[in-house]
Chain A
Amino acid sequence: MIICNNGDDVLEFEALEDEDVEEDEGLPLQGERTRAGGAVTGRGVEVEWQVPAAVSAFGDLLEETSGVDTNVCYQCRKCVSGCPVAYAMDYTPVQLLHAVRLGLKDLVLGSATIWLCASCETCVTRCPQNVDIVKAMDSLRVMALRSGVKSAVPEVAGFYRSSLQNIRLFGRMYELGLIAQLKLSTRQFAKDLDLGAQMMKKGKLKLLPEFASLGAARRVVSRASKLEGK
């Protein structure tokens, strides 16, 4: 017997027996899709539950491309409390997920948040509902890059573009090339000049790219791109 003292009312519940749990087979497990409705009985009360299906077409699109169902998020905000970059974001990760559910596509793809997520996996590791926020962010960035939305943090979007080009061009990272390309695209020529010079002095930057695996890298990039249909 479980007794809950709820101010004026004292509620009594029968403790759950193992057999009762059997009856609850219809209950969704953590992180599982919960699109169907149902009724839970076994404690003297009957609770109807229903998670609405297809809240927004945008949410469905995200689920299709990333496998992440934003509808299972119950807005507990544990993800935000551990997020090291939340302080710099325009929408916290949980707000962004909710915006996805509401179908606010322009807000989401135009947000700074999708570019400021550091992919540190803290939120994913701690989420009680196994919502893979990093995978969602990845897909949202891909969507934003492909749809040509103006990025709220252009230097980060530019970095992703340049890095990819770097892999295509050289097969391995060529930092100097990447830095030069970034400087050209962001026009921040003075940024980190001093640090760069010191790195050169310490021999921490290769002067020339390595082409050791260029052919192999190109082959993988082109075959993978073909699968993505572009």
Chain B
Amino acid sequence: MKYAYYPGCSLHSTGKEYDASLRAVCLRLGIELVEVKGWVCCGSAAAHAASRRLAVALPLKNLAQVERQGLEEVLVPCAACFSRFKFAWHEIEGQPELRREMEDVVEHHFGDGLRILHPLEVMARDEHLAQLASLKGPSLAGLRVVCYYGCLLTRPPEVTHFDDAEYPQSMDRLLSALGASVLDWGYRTDCCGASFSLTRTDIVRKLSHDILEGAREVGAEAIATACPLCQLNLDSRQREIEAEYGTRYNLPIYYFTQLMGLALGVPSRELMLGRHFVDARRAPEKVVMP
């Protein structure tokens, strides 16, 4: 299977572990990733506050590139980029005039086959779940984990068409298939305040605190994420949050692809577990060898 791959700005900097672990997992599952040539920033941080058209044009520029490379399906691992791509596509699908305008801006005429996918969506497909279950590799059986989807992956449903907006299950299913004890909790789609990472860190700390607290309440030992902004907030701000609220979480925050990697026997070095702020090298100890 072959997909176009749009890493986005985060996976080239703060979320390199996500990039590395996703590539490692795809390699083992026989999924080929072709990075979008000359991709540009999707404008997720700011374009929508500057100009409605620019917010649509930037993602479309990348999608045009996907089609030019002869591909129709693109994997977008960052939830913020994923949301911008989905919105842009939704906008032009519903407005033929805007579509013409935008095709002019990005100098490309779009076909109808284009599909924007989050890697979670692909990995949680039945065929992959079966493939994973049949592997007699290591199991995550010792790990009690909660799945955190964040706000933008599933919402709004008529735009993202991804899982369930209030109670998504794809990551839960995926990690369960790998043997992990996946716990139920109430914060799977709550916002961590990512858009204020650099500005109103007081809001980030409050929202991230609520999520960490929710995870602790159900007895989780780790949180699995599917977005580089969520991961960074929960991980890098955890010490500050602990100081502010006078508590101790010490919860490692994994990308779901890192946990998949462990279960597929990828060495933890390749999964960059050493780059996290809260020590993430504990999970490999929990992995049960066959």
Give the B-binding residues of A (Cβ under 8 A).
65-66, 84-85, 87-88, 116, 118-122, 124-125, 138-139, 141-142, 145, 153, 155-156, 158-161, 163-164, 167, 171-173, 175, 178-179, 182, 191-192, 195, 198-199, 202-206, 210, 212-213, 216-217, 220-221, 223-225, 227-228
Q: Are A175 and B57 in contact (CB under 8 A)?
A: no
12 new A-B contacts at CB < 8 Å, known A204-B275, A210-B12: A84-B193, A88-B203, A120-B152, A121-B152, A125-B155, A142-B50, A156-B199, A161-B46, A213-B40, A217-B41, A220-B54, A221-B54
Given known pairs A178-B198, A179-B198, the reply for A224 and B57 (CB within 8 Å) is: yes
Q: How far is the CA of A84 from the CA of B203 in the complex (A)?
A: 9
Smallest CB separation, B126 vs chain A (Å): 27
Given known pairs A88-B203, A116-B200, the reply for A142 and B40 (CB within 8 Å) is: no
> Which residues of B are found within 8 Å of A223, using beta-carbon distances?
57, 104-105
Q: Are A160 and B46 in contact (CB under 8 A)?
A: yes
- B41 partner, pick from A153, A172, A202, beta carbons under 8 A: A172
> Which residues of A are found within 8 Å of B194, using beta-carbon distances?
118
Chain A-chain B contacts (Cβ-Cβ < 8 Å), number: 162
Given known pairs A175-B13, A213-B38, A213-B39, the reply for A84 and B190 (CB within 8 Å) is: yes
Q: Are B199 and A121 in contact (CB under 8 A)?
A: no
Q: Are B191 and A224 in contact (CB under 8 A)?
A: no
Chain B residue with Cβ nearest A84? B191
State whether the Cβ of B289 lies closer than 8 Å to any Cβ in chain A. Answer: no
> Which residues of A are found within 8 Å of B26, using beta-carbon distances?
none
> Which residues of B are found within 8 Å of A161, using beta-carbon distances?
46
> Which residues of B are found within 8 Å of A120, using beta-carbon distances?
151-152, 155, 191
Q: Are A225 and B51 in contact (CB under 8 A)?
A: yes
State whether the Cβ of B207 lies closer than 8 Å to any Cβ in chain A. Answer: yes
Given known pairs A120-B191, A121-B152, the reply for A220 and B198 (CB within 8 Å) is: no
Q: How far is the CA of A149 from the CA of B57 in the complex (A)?
A: 27
> Which residues of B are found within 8 Å of A221, using beta-carbon distances?
54
State whether the Cβ of B61 lies closer than 8 Å to any Cβ in chain A. Answer: yes
Per the 8 Å Cβ criterion, residues 182-238 of B in contact with A are: 190-191, 193-196, 198-201, 203, 206-207, 236-237
Q: How far is the CA of A30 from the CA of B10 in the complex (A)?
A: 38
* 7 A–B pairs (Cβ distance < 8 Å), ordered by A: A85-B191, A120-B155, A160-B45, A172-B40, A210-B12, A225-B51, A225-B54
Q: How far is the CA of A138 from the CA of B206 in the complex (A)?
A: 24
Given known pairs A141-B49, A171-B40, A224-B54, the reply for A205 and B191 (CB within 8 Å) is: no
Q: How far is the CA of A192 from the CA of B12 in the complex (A)?
A: 21
> Which residues of A are found within 8 Å of B12, using beta-carbon distances?
172, 206, 210
| Most chain B beta-carbon neighbours within 10 Å: one of A65, A205, A220, A228 | A220
Q: How far is the CA of A129 from the CA of B240 in the complex (A)?
A: 40
State whether the Cβ of B47 lies closer than 8 Å to any Cβ in chain A. Answer: yes
Smallest CB separation, B271 vs chain A (Å): 15
State whether the Cβ of B92 lies closer than 8 Å to any Cβ in chain A. Answer: no
